[in-house]
Structure 1
Amino acid sequence: MRPDKISRAAEPVFAHAPWLSVYLDDVEFADQTFKYLRLVESDGTPGTVVMALWGESVGMVRQYRVALDADVWELPRGFGESADDPIKDAVRELREETGLAADGWTDLGTVMPNSGLMVGSVRLWLATVSGERDLAALDDEIDQFEWWPVSRLRAAIAADEIRDGFTMAAFLRAELRGLLPGGDR
């Protein structure tokens, strides 16, 4: 149901600049008014997720996630910084998290992580790579990098071993467009 009026808070009640701002908006209906929590990532600049494809393998990273208190396997990803040129963010994240540079890029579209709570979106990319990894380009946030055969990633998603929504969304978009090897199973 659409509210009668929304009064957006001008200032966040909490900010962890530049990554996240938390707002409490007033949402009015004819019979009630309540506070609504709104989260804004990176000032609304879309984040980025990169599926690096090398032959029949996908580059996966293992990273500790504080919110889960667990290590998870996922595709490289990061916050957006370049609102005017989102490919810059994809190039940066691929380089920082894997040490790879892409030979070609395919835009897989955009997803909204949680449209009921968050103002934000994430751009998905498929990067074809063929060169060596530049280990000097790596940042220190990634614990491990591995090339996974596409068949392994497909099986891990089906078996509920990969739970990261961005990884699944990028895989699905690439799979449905016929961009991944072995899609005809």
Structure 2
Amino acid sequence: MLVMGTGMRRASEWTIHGERIIDDTRRAVLSVADVELPDGVRFEQYVLRVPAAAMVIVVDDADRVLMMWRHRFIIDRWVWELPGGYLDPDEEPAACAAREVEEETGWRPRSMTRLLTFQPMVGTIDQPNIVYLARGADQTSTTLDVNEAERIGWLPIDGIRQRIDDGEIVGAGSVAGLLAVLLAKATRQL
């Protein structure tokens, strides 16, 4: 067993020799990093740095989840997704998550509990995703923003796993968050 002291590198840690920015926009910084593997092989790796995102799993009293049916042009598919979005500078994640739910669905969450945080693609993208669980919501608007979703739906939790298996729910945040809720429900923690 290798015991490491302060400042020592692990044998399997990659070395970064530099990083050059290719494009820098309000919502993303694309760069190329000059990296070296532990065995000395050196190459360039694309890196995408994106603001943190927050999303919410809103569950009602009938054990249904609030979701949005929307088209994602990158994969050219219609999918169900949780409401959420990028954090504004200096915005608290829970405030962002609640704001996004209301803006995108017309429902205001009654409560917000942090469920999990994850990185969706650690080999290329630096973007923390923070998922909240909300119990109940109050409708504040019936007007749907056509730029956000084609429709809003309350989907039964018991059918969520099948929708994931069928490819109706594919986004990393939605899948990770919903599987966490299903696990909590199965282990009676929810």
Shorter-chain TM-score tier:
0.7 to 0.9
1:130-153 deviation line (CA, Å, top 9, x unaligned):
422413585732221011111122
Q: Aligned pair in 2 of structure 1 residues 32, 164: CA closer, same or farther (>3 Å)?
A: closer
Number of residues paired by the alignment?
A: 176
Shift of 1:165: 2.2
Please name the residue that 2:5 is paired with: none
- 5+ residue gaps in structure 1? none
TM-score of the two chains, using structure 1 as the length reference: 0.83
Match of 1:168 in 2: 175
- Bigger Cα Rg: 2
Q: Distance in 2 between matches of 1:130 and 1:179?
A: 23
Distance 1:57 1:20, change over 3 A: same
* 1:9-47 superposed Cα distances (whole Å, 9 cap, x missing partner): 2x52023x22111111111356443211111012xxx20
User: In the alignment, is residue 2 of structure 1 matched against residue 13 of structure 2?
Assistant: yes
Where do 1:146-165 residues align within 5 Å?
146-165=153-172
How far is the alpha carbon of 1:175 from its aligned partner?
2.5
Taking structure 2 as the reference length, the TM-score comes to 0.81
- Other-structure match for 2:7: none
1:69-98 C-alpha deviation (Å, 9 max, x unpaired)? 121111112112255511111011101111
Aligned alpha-carbon RMSD (Å): 2.5
Tell me which residue corresponds to 2:8: none
Q: Where do 1:1-150 residues align within 5 Å?
A: 1-3=12-14, 5-9=15-19, 12-15=21-24, 17-29=25-37, 31-42=40-51, 46-55=52-61, 56-83=63-90, 85-136=92-143, 138=145, 140-150=147-157
SS at match of 1:38: strand
Conserved? CA contact 2:144–2:151, under 8 Å? no
Q: Flag the 1:60–1:66 CA change in 2: closer, same or farther, 3 A.
A: same
